[in-house]
Amino acid sequence: MGTGIIGTGVSGLLAAQLGLQTTEHNIANVNTVGFSRQRSVQATNPSLSTGAGFIGQGTHVATIERMYNQFLTNQVDRSQSSASELDSYYAQISQINNMLADPSAGLSPALQSFFNSVQDVAANPSELASRQAMLSAGQGVSARYQSFGDQLAQMYGGVNSQITATVSGINSYAEQIALLNQQIVVAEGSTGQPANDLLDSRDQLVADLNKLVKARTTSNSDGSYNVFIGSGQQLVVGSQVLAIATTPSSADRSRLAVGLKTAVGVQEMPDNLLRGGTLGGLLQFRSESLDQTSNDLGRNAASLALTFNAQSALGQDLLGQSQVSSSVAGFTPDFFVIPSPVVIANTGNPAGSPTVSAAFVIPTPFKGNYYTDLGSSDYRLTADASSVTLTRLSDNKQWSALGDDVALINGQLANDPQGFTLAAGPLLAGSSYLIEPTRAAASNIKLNSAVVADASLIAAAGPVRTAAASTNTGAAKVSAGSAGPGYAAAVAGMPINVLYQDGELRNFPVGAQVSVDGGVPVLIAAPSDGVAYTSGATITLVGSLASTPPSGFSFVLSGPPNNGDSFAIAANSAASADGRNALALAQLQTQATMSGNSASFQQAYAQLVSQTGSKTRQTEVAAAAQNSLLAQAEASRQSLSGVNLDEEAANLIRYQQAYQASAKALQIGTSLFDTILALGQ
């Protein structure tokens, strides 16, 4: 009986001692990140059968249990991944928002200043000071575009750097998880007991990994984890690491892609496969907001340059040069200079693939309004064995044509204009090209160096003038007239003397086409052929049928003419005080020059600022909400796994008392044993 009492007492002492040690371990790790509270789980020892029944043999600690719930841990990891992704996205897009929305450093003040200077030239075309001020304002608005474009380009570089650092962190966590997997397998395999502290360390590494990328785990029978990132790509399998790496994208080597390290190199993965965490936020920000903002800002710059140059080409400079002047070779119509759309050949294209180039479509007016059809999307041109396909990446709209000739695609774009055309030799099957119509425009817009060097080359005047003959007897008046696309061909026979006779306007050049108020042009087969006169109607000598309505040189006759009255159309000589073309240039500010004839420069920019601001605010709100969910998930996990010092203090007292009681029982057993020994003496 004494041996039974002593054995039972010792088992109680040992159990209480382990309980005390477990409690002390909890208290010591109360501030350890990722630590899960532990508790000792006791079980009764096998009882001893006697004639009087089964006698208990005390207790033992079956295991040290970790207070852990896989569901709660997964919930925290999911919340952490989403919160980190939104935080990363917000940190980046807020930079763009601050840049675009600055009321003093934004684009709108620079545009306003520039068009104010154009209006000054329209009012004072002969003053070189006004022209020089226009050049300065033009350089100012170009510099503003360039500054924004350069800042966005720097953000691309910053995103590349952050992606590299994030991928390095992911690989580091993967290696640590794989090492812990190995240690856990050895520890649990040799003892048959859970390696609680190692398990906590591994779970914390998974939680930290979720800050960088969305990570999910599965358990193996030996206690190791498999870790999957993004949309299911393996990163860790037991003790093996399948590392990822950055590599220049095959579609555009200026941006980094993430791929799997293999024996033959890095296998590039699509960005949309890597979601969650800082990496997912960076990739999503780049493909959404950064690309769109860069393209939209470039679209604004390109539209300004293209429409301004198109109208400038219809003018005459202070030296008398224009499309119809004798010194046309010296005429410098372009005020702005921008690069052509960028076309990037995929690095995996078959050998011998032809070069593909792109060019902007020169704007043609719609009812006198110049505009571009440029959008804010990039495009991809691909070829297979039977066809070529152009895909708009923003919405995957496609234009396809059988064969290998991109000219067939241009034919479709003529009916569904995108603001650019393509040129290339026959494409090879398997080739791919990325087309960035506007990405480079903002960073590279500048003024024509010839105009900068000589302000007199600004085409402020109209190239053609009109005049009523001094011998006219009627009261009809003729407007100064305006030039449109093709006007040079329309007035090639200048001087032209339009004659009023018997209700008609006659004496147009033979072969000319004349339109009244934009109607169907009338072919002039003989000098006696004419068009009906209507006071106030717009008469157009047609040079281009591409515009709507047909364009060329237009003028308005109003009032009652008499038979024999004539109206001259001639080259505009000695026109230093003429500011008609400068006035038309100034009117571009308020016309619908962008988005397919639906928005002005400043309206389109305001829309970009608004969209960016809305996306920034949306991301900020979503990030705040997700961080709140993360806090709730962590609180739920802590309620189970966290250390409560009050509870641990109570456990200390409980185990202390159990220890003391077992020690007392052991003392009694020893005393009884001593008594028995004394009886035998």
Q: What is the pLDDT of residues 629-647, one digit of tens each?
A: 999 999 999 999 999 999 9
Instruction: Give the Cα separation of 80 and 629 in Å (integer).
Output: 9
Instruction: Single out the residue in 526, 547, 571 at which a domain terminates.
Output: 571
How far apart, in Å, are the Cα atoms of 664 and each of 8, 21, 611? 12, 20, 77
Instruction: Single out the residue in 530, 549, 571 at which a domain terminates.
Output: 571
pTM, 2 dp: 0.89
| Percentage, residues of the chain above pLDDT 90 | 83
Q: What is the pLDDT of residues 577-588, one digit of tens each?
A: 999 999 999 999
Q: What is the pLDDT of residues 479-509, one digit of tens each?
A: 999 999 999 999 988 999 999 999 999 999 9
My answer on whether 312 and 200 are in the same domain is yes
Whether the pLDDT of residue 148 is over 90: the answer is yes
Q: Does 85 map to a domain? A: yes
My answer on whether 529 and 613 are in the same domain is no
Q: How confident is the model at residue 48 (pLDDT cuts 50, 70, 90)?
A: confident
My answer on whether 671 and 636 are in the same domain is no
Q: Does 412 map to a domain? A: no
Q: How confident is the model at residue 367 (pLDDT cuts 50, 70, 90)?
A: confident
My answer on whether 454 and 308 are in the same domain is yes
My answer on whether 85 and 232 are in the same domain is yes
My answer on whether 451 and 559 are in the same domain is no
My answer on whether 500 and 630 are in the same domain is no
Instruction: Single out the residue in 539, 571, 603 at which a domain terminates.
Output: 571
Residue 675: the pLDDT is 84
Q: Does 651 map to a domain? A: yes
Q: Does 282 map to a domain? A: yes
Q: Does 375 map to a domain? A: no
Residue 326: the pLDDT is 59
My answer on whether 500 and 602 are in the same domain is no
Q: Would the CA dihedral through 663, 665, 668, 674 be positive or negative? A: negative
Mean pLDDT (whole number) for 249-261: 93
Q: What is the pLDDT of residues 70-99, one digit of tens each?
A: 999 999 999 999 999 999 999 999 999 999
Q: What is the pLDDT of residues 204-234, one digit of tens each?
A: 999 999 999 999 999 999 999 999 997 788 9
Instruction: Give the Cα separation of 442 and 150 in Å (integer).
Output: 8
My answer on whether 473 and 591 are in the same domain is no
Mean pLDDT (whole number) for 469-473: 95
Q: What is the pLDDT of residues 381-410, one digit of tens each?
A: 999 999 999 999 999 999 999 998 999 999
Residue 1: the pLDDT is 38
Q: Does 592 map to a domain? A: yes
My answer on whether 230 and 292 are in the same domain is yes
Backbone angles phi, psi at 81, to 5 degrees: -60, -45
My answer on whether 128 and 26 are in the same domain is no
How far apart, in Å, are the Cα atoms of 181 and each of 66, 143, 216, 316? 17, 56, 15, 79
Whether the pLDDT of residue 681 is over 70: the answer is no
Return the half-sphere exposure (C-beta side, CA atoms, 13 A cut-off) of residue 230. 21
My answer on whether 33 and 130 are in the same domain is no
Into how many domains does the chain fold? 3
Q: Beta-carbon neighbour count of residue 68 at 10 Å?
A: 18
Mean pLDDT (whole number) for 348-354: 94
How far apart, in Å, are the Cα atoms of 88 and each of 209, 283, 284? 15, 10, 10
Residue span of the structural domain in which 585 resides: 69-339+440-458+581-641
Q: Does 356 map to a domain? A: no
Q: Does 373 map to a domain? A: no
